[in-house]
Structure formats: structure tokens, C-alpha cells
């Protein structure tokens, strides 16, 4: 069912006794969105209702960004939403969402909204939160589902919902990737074949950081359980036990490095990105950050808990973002 006015949306009856779940999009739907919608259906259950919003929000685009270029594929979006079991699609015009023109009162994203994506795109998160707040009021959901690919967006929405007492549960859904590892995005369609090969460095860098964390954590756990001294490693080398000596050196180094795992993660990811900067076409890095998801500040050497390793870069004229969650302290 297609709905294009707030009045129609207000009159949309609940389809059953279950919750209403909303999935907010800017259209150009792909398999990542389909996963969000299917997850919303699972969360809402057979007696619930799933509403998808399709709205290209002008407040989220800066003066030099691609508002006019942003793909608009409503017919295909409706088919995908229907096939993924959505009950209704709310696709309003700009003057329906902002009937008095650009709103004079807006949601401020605060300090977290000025970091990373916010530093690169000033005002972006204020515009995003403003439209999310409006759409939450208009759709009146019990659940709102957002992709973890936009990790900073998800964190800010959770903060807004908590700080402003919105009566909704925010659900994060893991990033959906293509077979080659590239995170699904409506902007992937802009990449040429050569640009796409370069763009794969984003996900490779993230997974290199993840692998480095696992390896460092394992060595640190062994060092804590049975420290290996440099003297033992040297003695093993004299006996010709080269592999055992190298392993003992590694364990000893892990013990000396202590708990400074975050810098090793950053270094591993940075190496992949620097290499991609020499490709043709090159990857032009915007940022690589390892942050606390509570406020998106960089984590320190003694950090424990969940962090987000995030990257943003341009390949050609296309800007891409990606991230993965990492757990620090799991070895203890």
C-alpha cells in the first residue's frame, strides 16, 4: 500500500495486535534495505505491521553534495518493499514533510554530531535527526530499525530517543555485504569496475583490523597465562628451535606491549588503506577511526568493551563509508 500524505498515514489502521515497526529509507532500495524490512517483519510478527518510509531528505545534503543526483526509483522500491513483506510504504513529497518550507526549529546532534561524518558534512546529522524525529511522530511505531552500516547515525538516533523520551525501541541490524565484501549502498552503482576494485580496500582494512585484534588478544592471553622471556626465546634459537623461538619472542612482545591493542588495530587497517591510495584510481582517505559507540571519541590504549572501527573514503567522485564492531577485553 502506497501512502503519500500525513493525513492518510494518520488514518492507517493497525493491522493486528502486534507492534508497528518502521524502516526509514531515502529510497533506491537494495538487499540491505530488504534485510531491514524482513527483520522488521520478524520483530513485528504476523500480527504486527511494517511501515517503510521513502523520503530523500534535503536537510541531510550540503551545498556540494548530490541531492539532485541521488537516485529515485519509487516503482522498484515499492516492489522490493512488497516482496520483503512490508504492509505500507509512506513516500511523501518534500512539502508534505516540510509544509512551511525548511523548518526553523531543528534537532541538534550535539558534540557527537560534529565528529567524523559530522566534521566532513557539517549540519548533516542535525538534518537527519530532524527528519527522523518527524517521521517517528508521523508513523508512531513501537520499533524503529536502522542499519549498523551507518553506525554514527544509529548512535545519534539512540541518543535522541533516550534524551528526548521517544516511546520507541531502536533496533540495529548488522551490515549486509556483497559477495566481495563491499558494504551494500545505493552509491555503489556509481562505481566503475576499476573504482570498485579500489573500493574493496575499505572492507579489507576493517577485517585486517579485526584479524589483528584477534591475533594480538590471543598472544596477550598467552603472555598473561605463561609469560615467555626474551632469554627463553634466545636459548631456543641457539638450539635451532627457530619457530618456537619466534613464537616465544611474539608472546614476550605481547606481554611488553601490555593492553595497547587499539593502536595495533589501527595500524593494520591503515596499512591496507595506504596501499589502496597507490592504486589507479586511488582511494582518498577521509578518516579511519576506532571509537567508543557511546560518543564516537577515539578509544585509548586501555579501552575495554565494544568499539567501532570506522572508515570513510572517496574513490573517484563517490564517497563511501563502512565500519565493523570490535570487542576489546574478550581475552580476559
Residues annotated as catalytic are: 33
Contact indicator for 172, 157 with CB cutoff of 8 Å: no
Q: What H or E segment, with its residue span, contains residue 82?
A: helix 74-83
Distance CA 2, CA 25 (A): 15
Strands (E), the chain: 2-3, 20-25, 49-54, 88-90, 143-147, 169-173, 283-291, 305-315, 318-328
Q: What SS3 string covers 188-246?
A: HHHCCHHHHHHHCHHHHHHHHHHHHHHHHHHHHHHHHHCCCCHHHHHHHHHCCCHHHHH
Distance CA 247, CA 116 (A): 38
Amino acid at each position: 500500500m502506497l501512502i503519500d500524505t500525513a493525513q492518510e498515514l494518520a488514518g492507517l489502521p493497525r493491522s493486528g495486535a502486534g507492534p508497528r515497526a518502521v524502516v526509514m529509507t531515502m529510497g533506491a532500495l537494495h538487499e540491505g534495505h530488504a534485510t531491514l524490512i524482513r527483520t522488521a517483519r520478524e520483530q513485528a510478527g504476523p500480527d504486527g505491521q511494517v511501515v517503510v518510509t521513502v523520503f530523500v531528505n534535503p536537510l541531510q545534503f550540503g551545498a556540494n553534495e548530490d541531492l539532485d543526483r541521488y537516485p529515485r526509483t519509487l516503482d522498484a522500491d515499492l516492489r522490493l518493499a512488497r516482496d520483503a513483506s512490508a504492509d505500507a510504504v509512506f513516500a511523501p513529497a518534500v512539502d508534505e514533510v516540510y509544509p512551511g518550507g525548511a523548518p526553523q526549529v531543528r534537532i541538534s546532534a550535539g558534540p557527537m554530531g560534529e565528529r567524523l561524518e559530522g566534521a566532513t558534512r557539517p549540519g548533516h546529522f542535525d538534518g537527519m535527526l530532524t527528519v527522523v524525529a518527524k517521521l517517528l511522530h508521523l508513523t508512531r511505531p513501537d520499533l524503529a530499525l536502522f542499519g549498523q552500516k551507518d553506525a554514527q547515525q544509529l548512535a545519534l538516533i539512540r541518543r535522541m530517543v533516550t534524551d528526548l523520551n521517544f516511546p520507541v525501541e531502536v533496533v540495529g541490524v548488522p551490515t549486509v555485504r556483497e559477495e566481495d565484501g563491499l558494504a551494500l549502498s545505493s552509491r555503489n552503482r556509481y562505481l566503475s569496475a576499476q573504482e570498485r576494485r579500489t573500493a574493496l580496500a575499505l572492507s579489507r582494512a576493517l577485517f585486517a583490523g579485526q584479524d589483528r585484534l584477534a591475533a594480538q588478544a590471543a598472544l596477550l592471553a598467552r603472555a598473561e597465562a605463561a609469560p615467555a622471556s626474551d632469554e627463553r626465546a634466545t636459548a631456543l634459537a641457539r638450539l635451532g628451535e627457530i619457530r618456537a623461538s619466534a613464537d616465544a619472542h611474539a608472546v614476550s612482545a605481547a606481554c611488553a606491549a601490555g593492553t595497547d591493542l587499539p593502536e595495533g588495530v589501527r595500524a593494520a587497517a591503515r596499512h591496507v588503506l595506504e596501499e589502496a591510495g597507490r592504486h589507479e584510481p586511488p582511494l582518498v582517505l577521509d578518516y579511519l577511526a576506532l571509537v567508543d559507540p557511546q560518543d564516537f571519541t577515539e578509544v585509548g590504549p586501555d579501552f575495554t568493551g565494544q568499539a567501532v572501527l570506522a572508515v570513510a573514503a572517496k574513490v573517484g567522485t563517490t564517497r563511501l563509508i563502512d565500519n565493523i564492531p570490535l570487542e576489546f577485553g574478550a581475552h580476559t
